[in-house]
Amino acid sequence: MEKIIDENKQGQPLILDQKKENQRKLFIESYGCQMNFSDSEIVASILAKEGFNTTQDLEDADLVLVNTCSIREKAEQTVRKRLEKYNAVKKINPRMKVGVLGCMAERLKSKFLEEEKIVDLVVGPDAYKDLPNLIEEVDAGRNAVNVILSKEETYGDISPVRLQSNGVSAFVSITRGCDNMCTFCVVPFTRGRERSRDPQSILEEIDELVAQNFKEVTLLGQNVDSYLWYGGGLKKDFEKASDFQKATAVNFAKLLDMVAEKHPKLRLRFTTSNPQDMTLDVINVMAKHQNICKYIHLPIQSGSDRILKEMNRLHTRQEYFDLIDNIKSIIPECAISQDIITGFPTETEEDHQDTLSLMEYVKYEYGFMFAYSERPGTLAARKMVDDVPEDIKKRRLAEVIELQRKHSEYRHQAFVGKTVEILIEKESKKSDAHWSGRTTQNTVAVFPKGEYKIGDFVMVHIDECTSATLLGEAVGYSDNN
């Protein structure tokens, strides 16, 4: 097999096994969660072995793949708009084939082919290894679909091609699927049952990243705290495992401890944590290792006990407060962010006030806030009426966003006058004379470039802030370099 050398965006050499003589060009883009972006890197790796090189130029592509999101209706509309764009490009470039990957592919299956004539290929999130066969079908002039969800697939054996990476931070998937069945959420239907990846393959992928000089890794899963490796298989089948498998099982706290211990200079992050699955062990491991970032994304969705129950979030408001109190007492400097949904079916003004008062208690660093969007097939869609009028959902959302803006400003203000460690990730979007990086708390900081370069850990004195960004000046390298 001939080897070719390619270059990714940072100019780092990337060695690809080339199977086919003629290089074909792959344009791949991703919408939605970080898992989709990470999956696209797996897809690029699978197709590199088939002779596909990635291109940034849509008009030049032989194959266009779009990794899609179904989480809200708007996310699906965005993808439909992109398909219109591909349609226009196909008029100039008729050889171009179009494939849809990810959650919309899984949700709509072969219906996609009927609804969108431009689409040649529909591939669900667990079927990417079948892409070479599916592309052969398409080459032979037939449409191809594979949306089979798997009990095993974790892509643990595939080394992702780091697409558009800054060469500093990378994502590593550790679990796939979700068993939680929150009543509003389409993910369990599009990504299947929860399974965890072999810790050995996770450690190997991270070793490789460290060897390539990456400085930060984010462990990814729909529900990372639920990670459980007992030799393979679905999380729900753990009860049936042998005594030996149970005794040697690796949970999330253990995995985090192993990675942090092995690479003490690597910054470690993880997302997402579901409050019902987060343990004190995880918080203690975070406190034990300086290199585990002091930041937890801890979606709450609603501050009302009644709504939490309707959402099938398996914890109460009080249990959430207890978790927050534990985090803050074990790691006082820990930042916390939220996801909140406004206007879930039956949400009253009083429920909404409960959400606002919960926010007042926690004072999140920042958050991701959404108006409820009914998703076909979910329990909420089947059993509940989407009865909160759109204007009320929007008004409540605006109130939540405004309160969050105040809290972000309050949290950021606390950094002013302090000197904090920043990992430099990229040039600031607003000025080519400034670097942009993040604190351990995940807050973005911007400062004049000076002698420093991307990938350096620097100490930055924070002079001022906005609700989104800290502004400061570098005062020297940190000990972590």
Please tell me what DSSP assigns to residue 292: B
Please tell me what DSSP assigns to residue 234: B
Which residue number, 275 or 437, has a Cβ lying nearer to ligand SAH? 275
Stretch that binds ligand F3S, among 127-135, 179-187, 207-215, 436-444 (CB under 6 A): 179-187
Whole-angstrom distance between the N-terminal and C-terminal Cα of the chain?
39
CB of residue 419 vs ligand SAH: minimum separation in angstroms? 34
The string of DSSP codes covering 347-388 is: --HHHHHHHHHHHHHH--SEEEEEE----TTSHHHHHS---S
- Spatial separation of the C-alpha atoms in residues 453 and 64, rounded to whole Å: 34
Give which of ligand SAH, ligand F3S, none residue 188 binds (C-beta under 5 to 8 Å, depending on kind): ligand F3S
Helix H or strand E encompassing 187: helix 187-191
Which residue number, 379 or 444, has a Cβ lying nearer to ligand F3S? 379
Residues of span 59-98 touching ligand F3S by CB under 6 A: none
- Spatial separation of the C-alpha atoms in residues 103 and 40, rounded to whole Å: 13
Residues of span 263-282 touching ligand F3S by CB under 6 A: 274
Judged by the rule CB under 6 A, the positions of this chain that interact with ligand SAH are 71-72, 184-185, 187, 222-223, 272, 274, 299, 301, 339, 341, 370, 372-373, 375
Paired residues of 221 in beta bridges: none
Q: Quick one: residue 159, left, alpha or beta (phi over 0 = left, psi -120 to 50 = alpha)?
A: beta
Q: Does 346 bind ligand F3S (CB under 6 A)?
A: no
CB of residue 33 vs ligand F3S: minimum separation in angstroms? 9
Q: Does 404 bind ligand F3S (CB under 6 A)?
A: no
Give which of ligand F3S, ligand SAH, none residue 375 binds (C-beta under 5 to 8 Å, depending on kind): ligand SAH
Which residue number, 180 or 290, has a Cβ lying nearer to ligand F3S? 180
Nearby residues of 230 by Cβ (< 8 Å), 6 or more positions away = 238, 241, 245, 246, 248, 249, 250
Q: What is the CA radius of gyration of the chain?
A: 23
Stretch that binds ligand F3S, among 44-52, 82-90, 178-186, 290-298 (CB under 6 A): 178-186
CB of residue 71 vs ligand F3S: minimum separation in angstroms? 8
Q: Does 182 bind ligand F3S (CB under 6 A)?
A: yes
Give which of ligand SAH, ligand F3S, none residue 408 binds (C-beta under 5 to 8 Å, depending on kind): none
Residues of span 198-237 touching ligand F3S by CB under 6 A: 222-223
Which residue number, 166 or 222, has a Cβ lying nearer to ligand F3S? 222
- List the 216-220 sheet strands across, edge first: 169-173, 216-220, 267-271
CB contact at 8 A, 16 and 4: yes
CB of residue 274 vs ligand SAH: minimum separation in angstroms? 4
Written as six digits, the tokens of 243 are 């005594």
CB of residue 448 vs ligand F3S: minimum separation in angstroms? 41
Binding site for ligand F3S (CB under 6 A): 178, 180-182, 185, 187-188, 222-223, 274
